[in-house]
Amino acid sequence: MRYLNLVLILFLISCAIAVERTKDLISAIIIFASYSLVMAILWLILRAPDIAMTEAAIGAGVTTVLFIGVISRTRRMEK
């Protein structure tokens, strides 16, 4: 169990760094959604199922849909 926690935390750190460094917005949203899902798994491991469900629903679900909706309504300026 200790190694699983370590792997998940390292994945969270790498996702946070990847979101910050990614230039493409859609890729950043997908990475952010995976970050939220892994965070929900960590909340389950910490025996907080109510927070895990909230993180999965709002963090990975609603926020991802809203971000994609906003990006779809904007124009990209590409050369």
Write out pLDDT tens, residues 40-65.
Answer: 999 999 999 999 999 999 988 999 99
Q: Is 29 within the bounds of a domain?
A: yes
Range of the domain at 49: 2-72
Assign 78 a pLDDT band (cuts: 50, 70, 90): low
Number of domains present in the structure of the chain: 1
The conformational region for residue 77 under phi > 0 = left, psi -120 to 50 = alpha, else beta, is: beta
The predicted model scores a pTM of 0.85
Q: Is 77 within the bounds of a domain?
A: no
